Amino acid sequence: MKALLALEDGRAFECRSFTGPGEAPGEVVFNTGMTGYQEILTDPSYRGQLVTMTYPLVGNYGVNLDDIESDRIQVAAFLVSEYQENYSNFRASGSLADYLKAHGVMGVDELDTRALTRRIRQAGAMRAIASTIDLDPQSLSARAAKIPPMVGQDLVRHVATKRPYFWKNNRPQAHVTGPLDEKVWGEQNSALRVAALDYGVKYNILRCLENAGCQVLVLPADTTADEIKQLKPHGVFLSNGPGDPEPLSYAVKTARDLIGYKPIFGICLGIQLLGQALGAKTFKLKFGHHGVNQPVQQLATGKVEITSQNHGFAVDPDTLDSSAVEITHINLNDQTLEGFRHRNYPLFTVQYHPEAAPGPHDAGYLFDEFVSMMKDCQ
């Protein structure tokens, strides 16, 4: 079905919808991964975004029930160069097109993704609309320019859990009922108790924490520090999530009130919230980091990790208090901040995704570091 993708700057791209009629507004970004489209589709950090894949052929291995990172597709639309209808994989349970249709998400192909990506790199991530209904470039671009910008929006409230739940045996369990206190963990065992604040957490993060020997209780994003302290966890985890950290004052306050209480580990949005809690500023990147091949250097050792990333905002390192915080990692592509730790308290954080899914496993050791930190603080 004929479709049109129009950017807010007036640029329009003819394309086709392989999921039928529809229209999808949002911010358009590109992802450089060659595989892992199902994990990308279900990553809550993509909430409100139209994701275009730079790899040209998508859909060839279908979809399955295991490679998901949340309970639904999160992207506003999926934009590819060529959709492959005839999939083949021993784990496949269906086609990508049927999966998108089942979730009411628009899929677009026959799109010049190379030209689109070049435009985003030159001008930055921008608002756009993909449509089979309005095929007038001027009209569609004008409407795209009226979409509320990502800056200043609280997107976390759309993706975070509303009720606490335990992650156990590689899946979310029934929601917790009753008061949240130390008794919620059940009988004492050797597992380290982790209170995981959900700002849009990926399932594989929870898998990695459980595999590292943790008992993981996932909490709503607006859980307060006092409520967390009632639980008496061994450590606190701050998850990834979508959009701008600036409007998340409630999450920043919780992070600030927890510094020095127990070991803290933050990923992606978590580093931005902890940065703000420590007095730093955040800013919007030109086109973000979205992919599985971002080189990050450990400053202490000089070692380079190839990392999976998905974020559009970052912490300004010049606004961090160097007497309290040590920068631990930098991005070798653009020298942006990729990690820091506190000099006095058990707190460390990274901008990238050590759990991957999709992506390399170079940074998986960070979960073991968190476990060691919690053990040292018992």
CA dihedral 63, 64, 68, 72 (to 10 degrees): 70
The encoded tokens of residue 172 equal 């979310």
Residue-level pLDDT at 273: 98
Catalytic residue among 289, 329, 342, 353: 353
What pLDDT is recorded for position 291? Answer: 96
Is 268 annotated as catalytic? yes
pLDDT at position 188 is 63
Query: Which of the residues 8, 214, 268, 305 is marked catalytic?
Result: 268
Strand residue runs (E) in the chain: 2-7, 12-17, 23-31, 49-53, 57-58, 77-79, 82-83, 106-109, 126-131, 165-168, 171-175, 192-197, 214-219, 235-238, 264-267, 282-298, 304-315, 325-331, 337-342, 347-350
* Per-residue pLDDT at 345: 98
Closest CA to 292 of 206, 190, 363: 363
Active site residue 110: no
Per residue of the chain (378 residues), what is the pLDDT tens digit?
999 999 999 999 999 999 999 999 999 999 999 999 999 999 999 999 999 999 999 999 999 989 999 999 999 999 999 999 999 999 999 999 999 999 999 999 999 999 999 999 999 999 999 999 999 999 999 999 999 999 999 999 999 999 999 999 989 998 998 889 999 998 767 789 999 999 999 999 999 999 999 999 999 999 999 999 999 999 999 999 999 999 999 999 999 999 999 999 999 999 999 999 999 999 999 999 999 999 999 999 999 999 999 999 999 999 999 999 999 999 999 999 999 999 999 999 999 999 999 999 999 999 999 999 999 998
What does the radius of gyration of the chain's CA atoms come to, in whole angstroms? 21
Structural domains in the chain? Answer: 2-144 (3.50.30.20), 156-376 (3.40.50.880)
> Which of 27, 69, 305, 355 is flagged as catalytic?
355
State how far the Cα of 64 lies from the Cα of 327, in Å rounded to an integer: 39
List pLDDT tens digits, range 136-180: 999 999 999 999 999 999 999 999 999 999 999 989 998 998 889
Q: Indicate if 361 belongs to the active site.
A: no
Q: What is the pLDDT of residue 245?
A: 98
Cα separation, 328 vs 338, in Å, equals 8
